[in-house]
A and B are shown apart, each in its own frame.
Chain A
Amino acid sequence: MRTVSAAETAPTTYPWAVHAEGLRVRAGRHLAVDGLDLTLDTGVHGLLGPNGAGKTTLMRALATVLKPAGGKLTLLGESVDARADLRRVRRGLGYLPQQFGFYPRFTVREFVEYMAWLKEMPKAAVPGATQRAIERVGLAAKADARMKTLSGGMLRRAGIAQAIVNDPAVLLLDEPTVGLDPEQRLDFRELLRDVGVDTCVLVSTHLVEDVVAACTDVVLVNEGRLVYQGTPDDLVTQGGDNFPGDSPAERGYSALLRRHRTEGGR
């Protein structure tokens, strides 16, 4: 239980939590995100796309880790350009990288507390928020175990805990379900639905069924561009029986990608 402050219930002054216009981001020399237009508001958005589509680079740019090479990117109503002061935006961000390193000597609690401190949370709120985040991902029994003793799925959940510890307004999760067993994936979907009520969540994944089950919105990218944005039900209707895939949603996914590739090839 915690008290909801007036600032949390105040209406926002921006139309979209995430707004990208013609966004271009480099990964090394290669332009991995090339002219992407994207608007996201509250809800759970599933980011789908083949390998090398620019998903991770897009995530990094949204997390303000990478500098955009061009275009406009607005997060929580504030422009995130080369010279912008990112402090205020970053306080409202939660980010789980695809491969995240950690300090093996830290316990889970120390790790999440350290991240909460880096996110400049008020000192008095840190222990409570840490405990709450650890409980939400179901790691309470392992809270005082060292990070190096955790299994891959537990590490992933510790990573999710540090991402949600500051109750972010924009939560970016890059392949969070890797290494989770089927039961944990169900719990994770539950957590996503719960967080997505008042937060803009962007989940990058390869599992189409995760997206259909837990997301309110599907974003499909290919070769650094937006291919499709719509509801999971709409994705299902895109496919026909003659497209590869074991579920209607997978058939819809491959239908959209093929259509985009043939259009691009012309």
Chain B
Amino acid sequence: MTTHLSPAVIARYADRDAALDEVTVWSIEVHLEDCPDCRALVAGATTDDTRALLARISAVVDAGIATGPAPAPRRSRAAIPNRWMVWHLLPWLTMTVAVLSCAVLLQALEPTMPSLVALLAPVAPLPGVAIAWSRRADPAWELIAGTPAAGLAMLLRRTAAVLAVVVPALALASTRTGFSLALTLLPCLAFTAGTIAAGSFVGVRLAALVLGGGWALAVAVPALLTAELPVILQPGSSLPWALLTLLLAAVAALQSDSFRRLSSHN
């Protein structure tokens, strides 16, 4: 900040007849921009005519502000749900929660069956994750695919929105049926990470289809036919599930570049 202006300089600046060279005017104005005290001095050094004119202008501007339309309210808070929630996911999330409630209900009616919630847990987030990064389901995909925010971060954000619904629903279902919480949630997270990791190679939608179909054919259907809980969901297998989740998450993180564009298999 420059030193304050002397009253003599201010008087010459405010006097329209006094000749001041351009350089001096510039240095005065640079100082005035930052210094309210000197601005007040300039205002005081002007003639009565100028002050009357300024007073009239300020009255007119005030009147214009008072009679004009009110300023739009701040809406920054309204934007946040739009950023996190993807509205076209809602039907799929509703369906997932409905299927889980049916599983809890069936479990209550037929307690001898292997835990349906545990069998459903790994595939519960997959429809949502597949829809979150799919050109068929997202109406604005072409607009979004060309923005800098498109990429793994965006897929993760949408996946987080899916998990924020699915994980509490699963936790509730598993406490209702009395099945281990860790063995419900860890496979769910492992399959989510696996879908994203495999999705970086073959597309998220195909990865979700293959993983979900594979689980249903290899684990869920045999378990229902034999009415026995599969080995990989027996107590004590939570450590392998946790390690698998971490491994798949690392693969997904390393492959983050491949989500920059929506490729044709999405």
Contact = CB atoms under 8 A, between A and B. Distances in A.
Interface of A: 28, 60, 63-67, 83, 85-88, 90-91, 93, 95, 97, 99-103, 105-106, 110, 113-115, 117-120, 162
A36 to B, nearest CB: 19
Given A110-B82, A118-B148, A97 B87 contact: no
Nearest to B140: A101
Contacts of A103: 87-88, 139-140
Contacts of B148: 86-88, 90-91, 118-120
B79 A66 contact: no
B72 to A, nearest CB: 8
A102 B82 CA distance: 13
A113 B139 CA distance: 17
Nearest to A94: B146
A90 B147 contact: yes
A229 B110 CA distance: 74
Contacts of A105: 87
A113 B78 CA distance: 11
Given A110-B79, A117-B149, A86 B141 contact: no
B143 A90 contact: no
Interface in B208-234: none
Contacts of B149: 117-120
Interface of B: 78-79, 82-83, 87-88, 138-151, 257, 260-264
B146 A90 contact: yes
B82 A114 contact: yes
Contact of B83 (A66, A91, A114): A114
A87 B139 CA distance: 22
Contact of A110 (B78, B141, B143, B144): B78
A176 B146 CA distance: 17
28 contacts: A60-B142, A63-B146, A67-B261, A67-B263, A85-B257, A87-B148, A87-B151, A90-B148, A90-B150, A91-B148, A95-B143, A99-B142, A101-B138, A101-B142, A101-B143, A102-B139, A102-B143, A105-B87, A106-B82, A110-B79, A114-B83, A115-B143, A115-B147, A117-B79, A117-B149, A118-B150, A119-B147, A120-B148
